[in-house]
């Protein structure tokens, strides 16, 4: 069965510092991995995805994510955090056995302090 | 291009009643998925529709149902409401059912069951 784990409920970082939001996954086949962000009282917004190819994926708003097959991880990163990055971040996965059904992690709340 | 719209945005019902939520996907998008978001359970997949057919279903009781119309608009219905059904219900659309397709989310309908 597919599953996604986001081990940190909350991540705190100072503005200007690098940030990392962690995600590990479990699927039967090759994973299709996604990151989404949710701002208060809004739906989720797509940030980036890994399908195949280069392990470092670049996305919106300066975010990037690193796919590591051996560690089954897909951590979200940004070199320099902004206060406006404060939000709830979700990692998600699909694979061929699950079809188009998307499994989301529990979410990680990011606080960026000025 | 207009985003995903959901109506109504807020809804208050009492136990035992039923409710219908509506979702209009982005123009040209043919796949619509529904999710329930709660603080305790996070984002849980309800079902997915494509070409007016339910293609995937999550682990929810039969009180939760949905449908999709020929213009890709979708509705979900919850009958015999329970207190535990209080949640944010999110609709997401995708161009098609490709595993690499990202989803575009609406702002959600916040349902409160009293």
B1 pLDDT exceeds 80? no
Which of chain B's residues have a Cβ under 8 Å away from the Cβ of A43?
4, 90, 92, 105-108
Residues of chain A with pLDDT under 70: none
Q: How many residue contacts between A and B have a Cβ separation below 8 Å? A: 60
Q: Report the alpha-carbon angle B113-B104-A68, nearest 5.
A: 110
The mean pLDDT value for B57-76 works out to 96
pLDDT band of residue B63 (cuts 50, 70, 90) is very high
pLDDT for A99: 72
Cα dihedral B86/A94/B103/A64 (nearest 10): 110
- Average pLDDT, rounded, for chain B: 95
What distance in Å separates residue A106's CA from the closest CA in chain B?
5
> What pLDDT score does A40 carry?
85
A-chain residue closest to B38, CA distance: A106
pLDDT tens-place string over residues A73-86? 999 999 999 999 99
The answer to whether the Cβ–Cβ distance between B102 and A99 falls below 8 Å is no
pLDDT in tens, B6-46: 999 999 999 999 999 999 999 999 999 999 999 888 899 99
pLDDT at residue number A98:
75
Tokens 């982005």 sit on residue: B26
Q: What DSSP letter does each residue of A8-66 carry, written as one string?
A: -SEEEEETTS-EEE--EEE-SS--EEEEEEE-TTS-EEEEEEE-SS-SEEE-GGG-EEE
Average of pLDDT values for B66-89? 97
Would the pLDDT of B65 be above 80?
Answer: yes
Q: Which tops the pLDDT comparison, B100 or A112?
A: A112
């Amino acid at each position: 069965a597919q599953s996604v784990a986001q081990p940190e409920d909350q991540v705190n970082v100072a503005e200007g510092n690098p940030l990392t939001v962690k995600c590990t996954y479990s699927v039967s086949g090759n994973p299709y991995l996604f990151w989404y962000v949710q701002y208060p009282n809004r739906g989720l917004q797509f940030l980036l995805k890994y399908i195949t190819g280069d392990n470092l994926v670049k996305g919106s708003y300066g975010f990037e994510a690193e796919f590591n097959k051996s560690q089954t991880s897909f951590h979200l990163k940004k070199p320099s955090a902004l206060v406006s990055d404060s939000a709830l971040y979700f990692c998600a996965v699909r694979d061929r056995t699950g079809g188009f059904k998307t499994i989301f992690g529990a979410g990680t709340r990011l606080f960026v302090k000025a | 291009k207009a985003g995903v719209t959901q109506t109504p945005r807020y809804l208050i019902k009492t136990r035992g009643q039923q409710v219908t939520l509506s979702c209009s996907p982005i123009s040209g998008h043919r796949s619509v998925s529904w999710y329930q978001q709660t603080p305790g359970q996070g984002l849980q997949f309800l079902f997915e529709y494509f070409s007016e057919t339910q293609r995937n279903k999550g682990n929810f009781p039969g009180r939760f149902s949905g449908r999709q119309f020929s213009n890709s608009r979708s509705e979900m219905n919850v009958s015999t409401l329970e207190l535990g059904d209080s949640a944010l219900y999110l609709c997401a659309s995708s161009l098609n059912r490709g595993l690499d397709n990202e989803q575009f989310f609406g702002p959600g309908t916040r349902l409160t069951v009293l």
